[in-house]
A and B are shown apart, each in its own frame.
Chain A
Amino acid sequence: MSKTIKGKIWKFKDNINTDVIIPGRYCHLTDLNELAKHCMEDDDPDFAKKVSSGDILLAGDNFGCGSSRELAPITLKAAGLSCVIAKSFARIFYRNSINIGFPIVECTQAYDDASVGDTFEIDFKSGTVTNTTKKKNYKIVPFPDFIEQIVKSGGLLKCKDLLSQ
């Protein structure tokens, strides 16, 4: 994961579930470009056309609830999103994202002030999220050390220490 991420935000509400992120009817697809076309389709049918590479998804509580499908973070990544910032994440989505090295950030305060199109900057080193449009700073909820180790390795299966434990 790079040290900083900068991008324009898209805002979604609480309890965005994996069926919305990538509907079950597409879960047999393997082509990343095809999956990307259907990202968030059942919430916003035009999302895949509107989203640009490097954009950030900002969401409320319990992002990624529902199905265990790992295609959810895979599809968000394939659609060009650089990171998801949420007030909280559903547990399987959280693990899946960490496992494939897709950046996720838990931040409880950034949501309420933000408007669609604001530019956000995430500094992983200092643990801050900045809404550069609104000129506001927020603290990231830090990963526990154990998870930080997986993140630094670039994913669960690249974490040699764990595989040999």
Chain B
Amino acid sequence: MNLVEKIFAKHAGKKSVVPGEIIMAECDVIMGNDLSTSLSIDIFRENGFKKVLYPDKLAIVMSHFVPAKDIMTAKLCQKVRDWVKQHKIKNYIEAGKGGIEHVVLPDEGFIKPCDLIVGGDSHSVTYGAFGAAGIGIGSTDLVFAWVTGKLWFKVPPVIKIIYKGKKARWVYAKDMILLALRELTSSGALYKGIEFDGEAVAGLDIAGRTTLANMTAELGAKCGIIKADQKTIDHLNKTRLKGTKFDMSSADSDAKYEKIVEFDLTKIEPQIAQPYSPDNVCDVSDLKRVKVNQVYIGSCTNGRVEDLRIAAQLLKGKKVHSDVRMIVTPASQNAYLSAINEGLVQIFIEAGAAVSTPTCGACLGGFMGIVGPKEVCVSTTNRNYPGRMGDREALVYLANPAVAAASAITGRITHPEEINVPVTV
């Protein structure tokens, strides 16, 4: 079996499963954010349910509209808080105590290799960075999991994506996943699982792995998994999971894949997704004449402290261009605090960037960085559909944090090599 099949078999209590098979699987973690949970609460009540079967399996993270942007969202959050208290949900993570769920949960020890995690958010695939199957679901599915602890799945065929070769300077995990989108398109992994492999994947740090797994959602994938290794264990040992014996299963040597796709990273330069789709990808040097109005660094895709370090490296001692507003939104309180302690926030502020509290906010067109008609935003987020970050005519380009920072300095879409940054060893 491949790793996806192994995880599904384990949670369905079966020796083996095959693609196409429909199974009922036990969920290890049932995640919801303010937005998906609010709708689930309505559905839970409308259907007359009274009790969550395993309250301790729930993790509810306030991320999308916090701190509340207006009275409507304040009421939405109130509803979630009241329900959480009523049902004694202990894993409730409030604004100021967490951040974006896909960064917070793995950093707080909620995610283990070979776990099955369902989440009321499409980017729940991010948990694949830790060898888990993270699967995005809607609010009715979320309620089903609340009341039964389980959910049905069709075991997907799996695509194996292998990355080889050493990346050039300024090429990151974001470029690896944009490259996959460029080649496979937005429906390239529809109804399918993805397993990542190859030396370039093993070489990624945890932050890079989360970026890679995160945007498998944009490929249409059910889950996108990187098998756990020593780096995964080291990360999880920094959390409440310290000392846990993890399930380190990996794919069998004769595992079946629907197809195997290989990418050589040796000659790749930073990639960028043009409006209006994450698969509308080209090389960053093809776009040098595009003027920029806003730069946004943040989100579950690229809002970890590692991403902020990359941006700060370019911005140190420089200024954000007079025609540009730059917004930096760390993805979690931990990332924010590290950015303060390491002097990154000072670099951003001295460069003229706005630094905000963690929130999904602008990425989904909520608040804290909405883009106006025909304005260009270079963003480290994951989607650039019409209206995603604001007006339907706003033009959002998706890139890595180095490209975003370089573009903030010059005021146009820029390859980071144009900025004079000394090589550090």
Contacts and interface: CB of A to CB of B under 8 A. Distances in A.
A119 interface: no
A157 B152 CA distance: 12
A62 B387 contact: no
B65 A68 contact: no
Interface string A61-78: 110011111110000000
A55 interface: no
Contacts, number: 130
B144 A146 contact: no
Q: How large is the interface on A (under 10, 10 to 19, 20 to 34, 35 or more residues)?
A: 35 or more
A25 interface: yes
A156 B73 contact: no
A146 B187 CA distance: 24
Interface core residue of A42, A43, A45, A67 (most chain B CB under 10 Å): A67
Contact of A66 (B42, B73, B144, B385): B385
A19 B396 CA distance: 14
Contact of A95 (B35, B47, B141, B217): B141
Contacts of B143: 157
Given A15-B277, A144-B22, A155-B140, A66 B366 contact: no
A92 to B, nearest CB: 6
Interface in B205-222: 217, 220, 222
A96 interface: yes
B268 to A, nearest CB: 24
A67 B222 contact: no
A146 B21 CA distance: 10
Contacts of B148: 163, 165
Contacts of B42: 30
Contact of A15 (B140, B186, B392): B186
B406 to A, nearest CB: 27
A72 B137 CA distance: 13
Given A24-B388, A66-B385, A157-B47, A91 B138 contact: no
B137 A92 contact: yes
A157 B43 contact: yes
B136 interface: yes
Contact of B120 (A24, A68, A163, A165): A68
B92 interface: no
B150 interface: yes
Contacts of B119: 68
A96 B187 contact: no
Contacts of A96: 138-141
Contacts of B22: 144, 146
A88 interface: yes
A91 B190 contact: yes
Contacts of A5: none
A23 interface: yes
A88 B136 contact: no
Interface of B: 22, 24, 35-36, 38-39, 42-43, 47, 64-65, 72-73, 76, 119-122, 124, 136-141, 143-144, 147-148, 150, 152, 154, 186-187, 190-191, 217, 220, 222, 277, 364-366, 370, 383, 385-388, 390, 392
Given A90-B190, A157-B43, 20 more contacts: A19-B364, A19-B383, A19-B387, A23-B365, A41-B387, A42-B392, A43-B392, A62-B187, A65-B186, A65-B220, A66-B217, A67-B121, A68-B36, A69-B36, A70-B138, A70-B140, A88-B187, A88-B190, A92-B138, A96-B140
Interface of A: 14-15, 17, 19-20, 23-25, 27-30, 41-43, 45, 61-62, 65-71, 88, 90-92, 95-96, 99-100, 144, 146, 155-157, 162-163, 165
